[in-house]
Chains A and B, each alone.
Chain A
């Protein structure tokens, strides 16, 4: 936090009536009820004219205590909570959690489950970036792109619905695999999306990446230099916009990302335009990954056959006493990972996302700590905003892309 500027003091109503005007900055409260704070972010901003001298984010309006609650749920039940944090890129949270839990359990996830996880997470990443683009440009006053991106996102949500049964808080991944196999229409639906989406991307590009007003509004705005970005712990597309090619799908591959060919777009500018551009170019890479994963999608089981983790199939219950016992144990108290800790860093649409799990050998995690990208990226807001204009602040919030559920947990 910067120093309190000298000479600041709030003028009371009485002082104003006395005509006691004094040299001071205008302190304005933005949020939690404001059209462009992307949820319930609250910012206290000091303005000199329209230039920002000081900005301090106040968070916690959406605090739900997810981490603590998770300590009182079995490992499979925790999944209900993970996807409610970042409701825009839900699958990333589910994936990060199950990867961490699987590391504790040393589970072997079947290949088909891995591929489906990758496809869904990448499609969800596209959906998340679509929300980012639509609302980001809406924050600059252009209304229409929002409706276009929502139209494409709708297509994705339909796919998710056909796979998981819900449109938002999926809870489809399980420790050791998936809840069930994907429906038959899945491949066809995804291919239809893959065929149509690149054209839409081109349309978006002409609508705003080549729009002079948009370029002027974002070029050179909210610059976060490379060194400062690293100091502030920025991750994800916002970091890559500052010139650091850090992507955990490349750096520490998980879920078989090492098998797919894709690029990590980076830019040296570090401004709002670069942050827009990164996400925009990333969507094309997502399409590439999805296409490759879909090509290699072979029929097969979607759950670890290990009876310690997965429920035995229904047919075995009638013939095998052992299966009944496993079933009973799993349903009544869940599984018991060995004592230990685990953390798997994954790349969500917003940056580094990981679940730090501590197991004391019981059926519930002893401690859960979530490394959420939104919260840590939000620290850079001050860096980007101070010295800029009030109108730029909105652009900076949009391009840092915080999801308040992710920030407040």
Chain B
């Protein structure tokens, strides 16, 4: 079957490197050819009882090898760009008569759409046609707070459209910080959020992870964890999550599926607030590899590097969601090593402290 792509503009890919490709999809698994694909820009912030604000950008049908390329002009997405320049998208693929969704985010670089690691969106993203893996229910933990529920279901709900039925706050892991002996340090998050948090989907068979959404809203302040010596913990802040539902109908599913209800949970916004997470146990910086020593009365700071992805960083409505924060102008770390000349000050990371996702200390 020949690749058929609708909505791909002439400027999708040009010799000068300019490309509006927003998703290059490679389906894996059985029956990958001839699948209908839709990509929408979505607003994950929601409004209780209302349908999700979304804009169909492109549609396509996968090739006989399961490939599809979809494009979006950045100028058309101004309403969906968050405070940090990111746009959230959702792809929809028809499998076994029902839609499967994947959330992802992109930032326009000026010449192309790129993902969180700076990879061009033209790099194929593998998606499976196999049944989604149902993740274990989120372990018992801190309860959600400030939960608000839509008063009643929207009258005349349209099938195949997501509706916001509730929202609530959940503590979410945003990072991990370590200090060694004779050291003070700070981990700063804000004043704009910079986190990618998992999106959970429930197709009626339990929650599964379906990509991630970027939370990049600004607040008037930042949070800073100021810590003294020998601190080794995860750090948390509060994010709002939205619970959505969708009812299958003719425009997105085969007749046997009509009336079936889907759910999803998306990260919505950063609410600020800070709390220390679990202690990280271990012996750190014992090996010379990746380790650097620092003089008394010296400093080290680092920003603009993607941080570690924390699995089960948050739970909302039973969905267990991962989270990744960036070290950027929005997230950074500072170390102030004390003047005690008898103490050795070590930071370490693999391959080194400038590029590691976590900086450890001793």
Chains A and B form a bound pair: no
| B interface residues with partner A (beta carbon < 8 Å) | none
